[in-house]
Structure formats: C-alpha cells, structure tokens
C-alpha cells in the first residue's frame, strides 16, 4: 500500500538498471513521489532538468537515480595508462556540509549494487583523508564548493570527464555567496551540450532560473505546485510573547512535549542566540545539542547522528540545520526567532512532517521579530493562528540556571595551554629563531645572588676573627658581571672625504639612447 504523498508511478516501471532496482528494493522504495514521477522519465531520456518541489518530497533520490542510470548506461571511455589524475564522471554540489554528507549516505544505499565509486569532499575535517580518496579515483564526486575548488587547484582531480552535474538547493548557493564558485567549476567542465545538468531546489527564484538557462542545455522547468507552500500535514501556530517570556515558554513547552515520544528542533537567527537558548535548556534539565557555524564539524556530525537516533531529544540550531537535512520523526519545530526571510520559514517548518508524516510548527511572535509575521503569511498564502500565552505554560526558570557553552571555554583553555606550554618548554637563555629562520641573540643568564648566610659580609659579622681580607674578584667574574656597554657604531665617511688617499670610484656615465 502506498502513502498519500506518493504517486501511482512505480519505480520498477521506469527504465532503470537492474542494479539500481536492487538498491531500491533494499531501501524499501516502491513508488515515486510527485517530483520523481515528473522528472525521472525526462531525465532518463537525457534532458536537463530544473525542478522545484517542497522540501522532503524526494528530490535527492530523483537526481541520484538519474545520475547513476546515466553513468551505467554510458560506460566510461578508456584512458591512457599514463593519465593517472582522478577524473570523476559526475559532480554533485551541495551548499552545506551536512547536506553533502546526507547525499553521500543516500547514494551509498541506492548504489550499493552498481559498483560506482563515490567520493565526498567538504570542509571542517578529514582534509588529507578526503584528498587521498579522491586521488585514488571516483566516479561520482559529492561535495561543497570551497573544498572542491581547493582540491581542483591542487590538481587532485579535473573536470574534463564530467557527464552529469547536479546543483542541489541552488537558491541556497546564492544566499551563502557560492555562485562565483559554482560558475568557476561549471566553466571548467565540458560544454552544456556534452553533459547533463540537473538542478533541484525548494524554491526557483529568477536568479536561479537565469543560472539554469546560462549553464544548462535547454532545461525542462518542472514545478510541483501545491495548495500551500508549507507541507500539508504541518499544524502551525504562533504565540504572542514578550522577549522575557520566550525562555520560560520554551522550557515549559519542551518539558510538556518530552513527556511523550517527542523530537524537537528549535531555530534561532544568530549563533549567539543558539548558545543562549542551549544554555537555558541544558541548565534546566533538558538534554540539548546546539548546531551552528561555530561548532566543529566532527561535533556537528555527532550531534546530528545522536538526534537522528533519538538519544538527543532537542536540537537548537541556526539556518545551517534548516536546508535539505532529512531527519525522520521530528515531531515539533519551534521558531524561537521568526526568520526575516520568509523562505527560511518554509525550510525550517519542512524539517517536520516529512515523507507523509505529521508534525507541529510553533512560532514565537516576540517584540523583536513580530514584524516578520505578515511577510511570512503573505509568502505562504495562509494565516497562521496566533494564540496568547497561557501563564500555565510558563516554566519557573532561575536566571542563574543558564550554562555557558563548554566548547568555548575548552577552545580558549587549549589555546592558552599551547601558548604557556611553548614558553615553559623554552629554557631561559636558549637560542631562538626569528620569522626568517635566523638564530636570534638571547640574553645571558644572570648569576644567582648569594643568600645572606653565604655572603662574605654575613660571614664576617658572625665570626670576626675568621673574616678574610677583602680580595678583588677574579678577572673572569668581573668581566661576566660587568654590564655590557652598548657599542655605538660610527658612520664611515666616504673615501673621498676621509683624506686617506683612497679615491672613491666614479659613477659610470650612461649615454642616453635615442
């Protein structure tokens, strides 16, 4: 039986390779979603596609199936044995690291029986490991623009063999400023007539459409229109709240939801606000993770894995976590800060009610971001029910219960320990080097002053009979203890002015050339 969000088109009815169908059978997919039913027949014929559909409707599987079928249906051309540089046949570009990791995970599942080699390149971690994997050779390369350009300029791989190029979440590429990097890569591939282009996004703006027509070969524009922009099964509401009531309201709502089997995502607009909300939730006994641009990449992936598995019930994040991530069973999405861009509201709300499930989206209409609500309602074409705050929902939050992010203190402590450790390991008077690599002159160690019990004066005062006659210090000690006079270098006069009989060389006269 198929779900209501699926179409009547079966995946095994399409012209797909049996090895791809085997991977689909293992993943449990049987029917196409609307965007897959519209785009796959056209893409499998070799046409370029610019597709738009709601988030969570299967766009990733659509371009992965089309890409794998293209590579399996057109075997790679033989190469010269001397040509050892990696030459991928397909390139998939994603705007964020998390989305690139997820695409790679889905590609491994769908292409388990195809024999296609997959490569992944994204910033923040694994630089040398990723470089070695690409150098060994891949068929499908998935990554973010920055790390890909870095490896490309090092000639780890080239783009002359690209047969399929995919741009996922193309509108987000513009928002993050990647469009110059995208054009840099596209211009180093074969011409649009010699490759297949697939562009997918939740929203197709005019600038994205212009990019499609500039770097694609007569793309087919496909839009899956729905009655409302947000997912059909999302129950939306807002609370009119003051700024000082937002934290107590959030803690009260989260505690009530966690009494059941809830998985909650809380969105804020800034990294500083993410740390603040995380601190209050964690300080009031709610196990929470924070996901923002300041969190190291390994920790971000670990938090996403724990949140997906259910061991971490609450995740606070910025719009880094609002695009393209497929996390099943997210029951509640809270817009702690209403986004200033209405499109971001659609992507945030799209983290719940995915793949035909139901979910709740709650927004806080506060004093700071209340002006965003009319724009959001105009964009989604619907009024969001606004409810007053019931005092029973406000939790008793101690102002001192907020925790500071441990990761910030840990990073600061590590940098301080490194700097202090370098100073401690360097002995006094040792030779150091300057920035040019030349040894620098260090000060000589000062001789230790004698203690009062060991000084000659103290000995004479204690035993006058045994007091020795004063002697002059040894010559070596006198030289060592004497302060060094700073020598002043005199400026030598030219030989012609010294009167020592040495003539200065005359300047060579050069005749002008006409």
What's the half-sphere exposure (Cβ side, CA atoms, 13 Å) at 332?
Answer: 24
Please report the pLDDT score of residue 116 as a whole number: 95
Q: Facing residues of 234 across strands?
A: 359
> Is the pLDDT assigned to residue 482 strictly greater than 70?
no
Strand boundaries in 243-313, DSSP class E? 264-267, 288-291
Residues in Cβ contact with 478 at an 8 Å cutoff, skipping those fewer than 6 apart: none
Q: Residue 228: its pLDDT value, please?
A: 52
Q: Which residue has the higher pLDDT, 23 or 413?
A: 23
CA distance 102 to 15: 26
Q: 163 and 287 share a domain?
A: no
The contacts of residue 457 (CB under 8 Å, 6+ apart) are none
10 Å CB burial of residue 6 (0-12, 13-18, 19+) is buried
421-448 pLDDT per residue, tens: 444 444 444 444 443 344 444 444 555 5
CA distance 264 to 254: 8
212 vs 142, residue with greater confidence: 142
CB 336 within 8 A of CB 253: no
Share of the chain above pLDDT 70, in %: 73
Which residue did the predictor score with more confidence, 441 or 404?
Answer: 404
Q: What residue spans of 154-195 are helical by DSSP H? A: 170-175, 179-186
Q: Looking at the domain assignment, is residue 477 inside a domain?
A: no
14-45 as b/e: b if 16+ CB within 10 A: bebbebbbebbeeeebebbbbbbbbbbbbbbe
Q: Which of 348, 375, 408 is a domain's end point?
A: 408
Q: Do residues 162 and 271 share a domain?
A: no
Sign for the pseudo-dihedral over CA of 173, 194, 139, 150 = negative
pLDDT, average across residues 53-75: 88
pLDDT at 420: 44
The span from the first CA to the last CA of the chain, in angstroms, equals 93
Q: According to the model, what pLDDT value does residue 114 have?
A: 94
For residue 354, count CB atoms less than 10 angstroms from its CB and return exposed for 0-12, middle for 13-18, buried for 19 or more: buried
Whether residue 212 sits in one domain with residue 247: no
Q: Quote the DSSP letter at residue 77.
A: P
CA-closest candidate to residue 14, choices 53, 59, 52, 69: 69
Q: Is residue 195 pLDDT above 90, yes or no?
A: yes
Tell me whether residue 288 is in a domain. yes
Q: Same domain, yes or no, for 176 and 28?
A: yes
**How confident is the model at residue 417, as a pLDDT?**
46
Two tokens at 375? 């724009």
Q: Which letter, b or e, does each residue of 70-108 get, where b requires 16 or more Cβ atoms within 10 Å of its Cβ?
A: bbbeeeeeeeeeeeeebbbbbbbbbbbbbbbbbbbebbe
Identify any residues that bridge with 238 across adjacent strands, giving them in sequence order. Answer: 363, 386
User: What is d(CA 269, CA 271) in angstroms, rounded to the nearest whole number?
Assistant: 7
Q: How far apart are CA 313 and CA 289, in angstroms?
A: 9
Residues 73 and 217 occupy one common structural domain: yes
Q: Evaluate if residue 201 carries a pLDDT over 90.
A: no
Which of 293, 351, 346 lies closest to 318 in space, CA to CA? 293
In whole angstroms, what is the distance from residue 189 CA to residue 163 CA?
9
pLDDT band, residue 29 (cuts 50/70/90): confident
Sorted by sequence, the CB contacts under 8 Å of residue 203 that are 6+ apart come out as 52, 171, 343, 346
- CA nearest neighbour of 295 among 411, 417, 129, 172: 411
Give the structural domain span for 88. Answer: 11-77+84-223
Backbone angles phi, psi at 92, to 5 degrees: -120, 120
Taking alpha carbons only, the member of 336, 355, 356, 335 closest to residue 346 is: 335
Planar angle of CA 344, 348, 353, nearest 5 degrees: 140
User: Is residue 509 in a domain?
Assistant: no
Across 225-231, average pLDDT: 57
Beta bridge pairs of residue 91: 141, 165
- 347 and 239 fall within a common domain: yes
Does a structural domain hold residue 467? Answer: no
For residues 315 and 171, state if they share a domain.
no
- Check whether residue 391 and residue 267 sit in a common domain: yes
Q: Which stretch of 225-229, 255-259, 289-293 has the lowest confidence by average pLDDT? A: 225-229
330 shares a domain with 190: no
- Are the beta carbons of 56 and 226 closer than 8 angstroms? no
Is residue 491 included in any domain, yes or no? no
Same domain, 166 and 284: no
Burial of 459 (C-beta count, 10 Å sphere; 0-12/13-18/19+):
middle
Where is average pLDDT lowest: 50-54, 172-176, 404-408? Answer: 404-408
CATH number at residue 369: 3.40.50.300
Same-domain check for residues 295 and 370: yes
Got the DSSP string for 293-332? TTS-HHHHHHHHHHHHHTSS-EEEE-GGGSSS---TT--E
Question: What whole-number distance in Å separates Cα of residue 511 and Cα of residue 514?
Answer: 9
Residue 244 lies in a domain: yes
> Are residues 33 and 57 located together in one domain of the fold?
yes
Rg (CA), the chain: 35
Residue 218 belongs to a domain: yes
Structure tokens at 281: 């939730």
The pLDDT of residue 3 is above 80: no
Domain count, the chain: 2
- Quick one: pLDDT at residue 176? 73
- Of 204, 223, 242, which closes a domain? 223
Interior angle at CA 389, CA 383 and CA 395, nearest 5? 135
Task: Answer whether residue 320 shows pLDDT above 60.
Answer: yes
Closest by CA to 163, choosing from 70, 45, 59, is 70
Q: Among 376, 408, 440, which residue terminates a domain? A: 408
- Spatial distance between the Cα atoms of 111 and 23, rounded to a whole number of angstroms: 6
| Residue 434, in any domain of the structure | no
């Amino acid at each position: 039986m198929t779900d209501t969000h699926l179409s009547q088109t079966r995946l095994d009815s399409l012209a797909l390779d049996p090895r791809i169908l085997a991977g689909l059978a293992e993943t449990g997919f049987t029917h196409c979603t609307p965007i897959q039913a519209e785009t796959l027949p056209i893409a499998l014929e070799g046409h370029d596609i610019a597709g738009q559909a709601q988030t969570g409707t299967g766009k990733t599987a659509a371009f992965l199936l089309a890409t794998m079928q293209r590579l399996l249906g057109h075997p790679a051309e033989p190469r010269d044995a001397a040509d050892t540089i990696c030459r991928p046949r397909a390139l998939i570009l994603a705007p964020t690291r998390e989305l690139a990791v997820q695409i790679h995970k889905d590609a491994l599942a769908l292409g388990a029986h195809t024999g296609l080699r997959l490569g992944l390149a994204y910033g923040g971690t694994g630089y040398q490991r990723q470089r070695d994997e690409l150098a060994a050779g891949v068929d499908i390369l998935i990554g973010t623009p920055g790390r890909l350009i870095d490896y490309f300029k090092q000639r780890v791989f080239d783009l002359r063999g690209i047969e399929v190029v995919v741009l996922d979440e193309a509108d987000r590429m513009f928002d993050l400023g990647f469009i110059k990097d995208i054009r840099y890569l596209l211009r180093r591939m074969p011409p649009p007539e010699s490759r297949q282009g697939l562009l997918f996004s939740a929203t197709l703006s005019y600038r994205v459409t212009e990019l499609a027509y500039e770097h694609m070969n007569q793309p087919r524009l496909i839009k899956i229109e729905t009655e409302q922009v947000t997912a059909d099964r999302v129950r939306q509401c807002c609370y009119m709240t003051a700024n000082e009531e937002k934290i107590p309201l959030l803690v009260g709502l989260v505690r009530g939801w966690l009494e059941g089997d809830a998985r909650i995502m809380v969105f804020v607009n800034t990294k500083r606000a993410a740390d603040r909300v995380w601190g209050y939730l964690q300080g009031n006994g709610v196990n929470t993770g924070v996901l923002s641009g300041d969190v190291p990449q390994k920790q971000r992936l670990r938090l996403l894995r724990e949140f997906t598995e259910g061991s971490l019930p609450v995740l606070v994040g910025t719009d880094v976590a609002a695009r393209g991530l497929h996390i099943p069973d997210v029951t509640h999405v809270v817009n702690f800060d209403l986004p200033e861009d209405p499109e971001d509201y659609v992507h945030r709300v799209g983290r719940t009610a995915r793949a035909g499930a139901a979910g709740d989206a709650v927004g806080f209409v506060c004093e700071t971001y209340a002006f965003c609500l009319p724009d959001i309602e105009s964009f989604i074409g619907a009024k969001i029910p606004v409810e007053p705050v019931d005092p029973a929902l406000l939790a008793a939050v101690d102002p001192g219960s907020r925790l500071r992010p441990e990761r910030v203190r840990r990073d600061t402590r590590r940098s301080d320990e490194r700097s202090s450790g370098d100073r401690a390991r360097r002995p006094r008077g040792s030779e150091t080097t300057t920035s040019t690599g030349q040894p620098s002159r260090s000060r000589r160690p000062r001789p230790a002053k004698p203690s009062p019990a060991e000084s000659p004066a103290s000995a004479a005062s204690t035993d006058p009979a045994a007091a020795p006659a004063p002697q002059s210090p040894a010559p070596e000690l006198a030289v060592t203890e004497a302060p060094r006079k700073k020598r002043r270098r005199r400026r030598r006069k030219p030989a012609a002015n010294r009167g020592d009989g040495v003539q200065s060389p005359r300047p060579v006269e050069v005749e002008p050339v006409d």
